[in-house]
Amino acid sequence: MIELRGVRKVYPSHDGHPPVIALGGVDLTIQTQEIVCLLGPSGCGKTTLLKAIMGLVSLDAGEVRIDGQLVSAPGADRAMVFQNFALLPWADVMTNVAFGLDLRGVSRAERELKAREWIRAVGLEGFERHYPRQLSGGMQQRVGLARALAVNPTILLMDEPFGAVDAQTRRLLQEDLLALLEHSRKTVFFVTHSMEEALLLGGRLVLMTQRPSRIRDETVVRLPRPRPPDVEKDPRFIELKEYLWQQLRAMQISTAGHDG
């Protein structure tokens, strides 16, 4: 279980600009093996919140705990998938997928075995010796996903991982992710700007306010899992999407009015 209590993060002033309060006191609980999707206005601190759970940023107040243990640094129980792929450009697919295992001191034979298993699982068998520049965006993101899952984390943190690919590839990646999660049973915290993606993937949706960010709303997604191919036609899907849009729209209008 992930617990955030009063999480506050302030980025100091720079070039004469005032400090930025990225997180203004976030309280949130994520249950074990739950898939939670996080939405909010652009620039509201969603990525900062992920980094706080990962242990990549120091907090100005509050705390993050995982299964009761205080988070102060990255740990083997967590892995993160980024929007920009974050692959090693000089390394082939095999080396990229095995990278986290190498850092953990896993023997070469074992890490190559595990890497091959996950390369096969994400549909890239036969591309083990290809380099990132030889792969499409969708294939690169599959490598990133395989790298994260290869270290067998209990918590998977995903920062708009499909935001840089085309719509068709995005839908395929979403379906593949759901299939993988059905078998691996991870706790997933997924940041997205897409209401449709949140509804396709999430068991619970969390909305953040604009800065200084807090949790505005939490909604349980009462749709069948695994999601059927025509889930977007489900009246519950349509109703939830409209509800999310009204909430996000109200925040955007409020921000625009404040700026004006």
Q: Tens of pLDDT along 73-130? A: 999 899 988 877 788 999 999 999 999 899 888 899 999 999 999 999 888 999 999 9
Q: Is residue 235 part of a domain?
A: yes
pLDDT, residue 213, reads: 86
Task: Spell 242-251 as b/e; 16+ CB within 10 A means b.
Answer: eebeebbeeb
Q: Is residue 113 part of a domain?
A: no
8 A C-beta contact, residue 40 and residue 212: no
pLDDT, residue 62, reads: 94
pLDDT, residue 260, reads: 44
Q: Is residue 251 part of a domain?
A: yes
pLDDT, residue 155, reads: 94
Q: Is residue 202 part of a domain?
A: yes
- Residue the block writes with tokens 């549909």: 123
Indicate the helix (H) or strand (E) that contains 221. none
Q: Which amino acid, one-letter code, is at 133? A: R
> Treating both helix axes as pointing N-terminal to C-terminal, what angle do 137-150 and 108-121 enclose, rounded to 10 degrees?
130
Q: Is residue 141 part of a domain?
A: no
- We report the CATH number of the domain holding residue 37 as 3.40.50.300
Domain of 197, in residue numbers: 2-77+188-259
Beta bridge partners of 30: 2
Running along the chain, 260 residues long, what does each successive block of 10 average in pLDDT? 94 81 92 92 86 93 95 91 84 93 90 92 92 91 89 92 81 84 86 91 91 89 85 91 87 58
Q: How many domains does the chain have?
A: 1
Q: Is residue 64 part of a domain?
A: yes
Q: What are phi and psi of 256, to 5 degrees?
A: -65, -40
pLDDT, residue 254, reads: 62
pTM of structure: 0.88
Distance CA 122, CA 144 (A): 10
